[in-house]
């Protein structure tokens, strides 16, 4: 890393996780089932036939895990709440025992002087709401706003930031578009309608949380990428333009411009979402921050078979091209296109086939990945993009959705048999990097 790349003194450094991926405690203390609990019941859905019943047992080991977080010297911890833990069916009575877990977690973070950045929804819809139609049912957006209000009312003055959704693109396109994620639907029209209801739920939740007089910064987290044509051909260029419109602009334009992008609407044709009067105004609520998750670019080839990305810097264990300059390009492009609030990089990291050897985990590829992306982030900041923080994904190896436990994103290795945690070299590097930042 370029050692001149020091960041503002008030820059927020963090690590991130999500509830279903680490908590376990699937049936503990009155928690209801989520769509991911249900999805995992079909062994064909998860590559290693595993589930999230125990995961990293964070529900029981949160004190140890907060101790790890504190030992790294980070400023903040980004985590999500399991909706079905605090409201088992997604409507009706609240589960005080479930809220009690998050109350204790927040106490522990405060005791270690670690700021809390909460995500309300990281893909684990209560199964009770799925039984009523899930995100395809417009009413779910209103139930989400009720949930958001209750969380903000209870905890809004103990949390620094609350994001409504994590990566609604994934909830819609992987959950409803190709059945890769829960609830396992493959229907393009449903996916597009679900994306609208997710955005609507975000807007309604922003309004309901503001009504709760929370002091937390409020926003949303979107996974984003540049869309690059594989060649200079007209077909590739058109494909890249449409890809960007259908992914990045599809979620950004409603929030910041109060409308869907025309190019994507035309492409969707009769699959375009049903939008009620007032929906776009509800979605376009001002937000205090934008969370951006960046892992790779989209490489658009209209050829058959499509050209593969060049991967000059290699590929992660997920098969994703390592392309740090895409982060600079994306942020500069967003900054030119929208009137943005402050940005946080809420996820960035890599899966790597890590193993413990002599009590240590050597992961030089991950260290290089993070260094390159931090350099790319600094380059965007130097071009005027207002970035306030960076959260490394992930704190722990965890349940990687339909990949099960086969993919390791953590900077802390987890032995799933014993639940032993081992700091990888990347965790030690991150700790030392942050210490050096503060000494400047």
For residues 318 and 407, the answer to whether their CB atoms sit within 8 Å is yes
What whole-number distance in Å separates Cα of residue 365 and Cα of residue 285?
Answer: 40
Helix (H, G, I), strand (E, B) or coil at 305: coil
**Closest to 372 in 3D by CA, of 411, 410, 322:** 322
From 108, 321, 347, 400, the catalytic residue = 347
Cβ-defined contacts of 411-418 (< 8 Å, 24+): 411/15, 411/349, 411/363, 411/366, 412/68, 413/354, 413/356, 413/361, 414/56, 415/356, 416/54, 416/56
For residues 141 and 91, the answer to whether their CB atoms sit within 8 Å is no
333 token code pair: 């492009």
List the helix and strand counts (H, then E) for the chain: 16, 12
For residues 222 and 167, the answer to whether their CB atoms sit within 8 Å is yes
Number of CB atoms found within 10 A of residue 198's CB = 25
DSSP 270: G
347 is catalytic: yes
Helix (H, G, I), strand (E, B) or coil at 239: helix
167 is catalytic: yes
Q: Strand locations in 113-173, DSSP E?
A: 115-121, 161-166
Helix (H, G, I), strand (E, B) or coil at 227: strand
From 23, 167, 329, 400, the catalytic residue = 167
Catalytic positions, please? 167, 347
């Amino acid at each position: 890393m370029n050692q001149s790349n020091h960041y503002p003194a008030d820059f927020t450094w963090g690590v991130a996780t999500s509830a279903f991926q680490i908590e376990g405690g699937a049936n503990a203390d009155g928690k209801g089932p989520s769509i991911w609990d249900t999805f995992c019941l079909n062994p064909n859905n998860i590559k290693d036939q595993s589930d999230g019943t125990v995961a990293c047992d964070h529900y029981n080991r949160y004190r140890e895990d907060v101790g790890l977080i504190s030992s790294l010297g980070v400023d903040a911890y980004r985590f999500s709440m399991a909706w079905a833990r605090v409201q088992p069916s997604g409507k009706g009575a609240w589960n005080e025992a479930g809220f009690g877990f998050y109350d204790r977690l927040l106490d522990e973070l405060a005791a270690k002087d670690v700021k809390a950045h909460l995500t309300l929804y990281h893909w684990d819809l209560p199964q009770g709401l799925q039984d009523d139609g899930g995100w395809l049912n417009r009413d779910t957006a209103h139930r989400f706003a009720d949930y958001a209000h209750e969380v903000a009312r209870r905890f809004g003055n103990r949390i620094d930031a609350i994001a409504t959704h994590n990566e609604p693109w994934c909830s819609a396109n992987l959950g409803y578009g190709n059945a890769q994620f829960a609830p396992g639907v493959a229907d393009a029209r449903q996916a597009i309608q679900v994306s609208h209801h997710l955005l609507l739920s975000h807007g309604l939740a922003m309004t309901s949380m503001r009504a709760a007089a929370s002091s937390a910064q409020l926003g949303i987290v979107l996974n984003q990428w540049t869309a690059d044509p594989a060649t200079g051909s007209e077909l590739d260029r058109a494909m890249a333009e449409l890809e960007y419109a259908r992914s990045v602009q599809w979620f950004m334009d409603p929030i910041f411009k109060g409308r869907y992008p025309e190019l994507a609407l035309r492409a969707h044709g009769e699959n375009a979402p049903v939008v009620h009067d007032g929906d776009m105004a509800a979605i376009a609520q001002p937000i205090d921050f934008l969370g951006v998750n960046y892992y790779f670019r989209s490489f658009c080839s209209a050829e058959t078979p499509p050209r593969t990305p060049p991967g000059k810097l290699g590929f992660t264990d997920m098969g994703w091209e390592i392309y740090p300059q895409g982060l600079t390009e994306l942020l500069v492009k967003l900054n030119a296109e929208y009137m943005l609030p402050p940005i946080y990089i809420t996820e960035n990291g890599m899966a790597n086939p890590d193993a413990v050897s002599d009590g240590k985990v050597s992961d030089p590829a991950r260290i290089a990945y993070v260094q390159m992306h931090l350099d790319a982030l600094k380059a965007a900041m130097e071009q005027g993009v207002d970035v306030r923080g960076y959260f490394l994904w992930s704190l722990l190896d965890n349940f990687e959705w339909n990949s099960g436990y086969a993919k390791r994103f953590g900077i802390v290795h987890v032995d799933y048999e014993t639940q032993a945690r081992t700091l990888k070299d990347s965790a030690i590097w991150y700790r030392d990097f942050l210490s050096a930042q503060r000494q400047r």
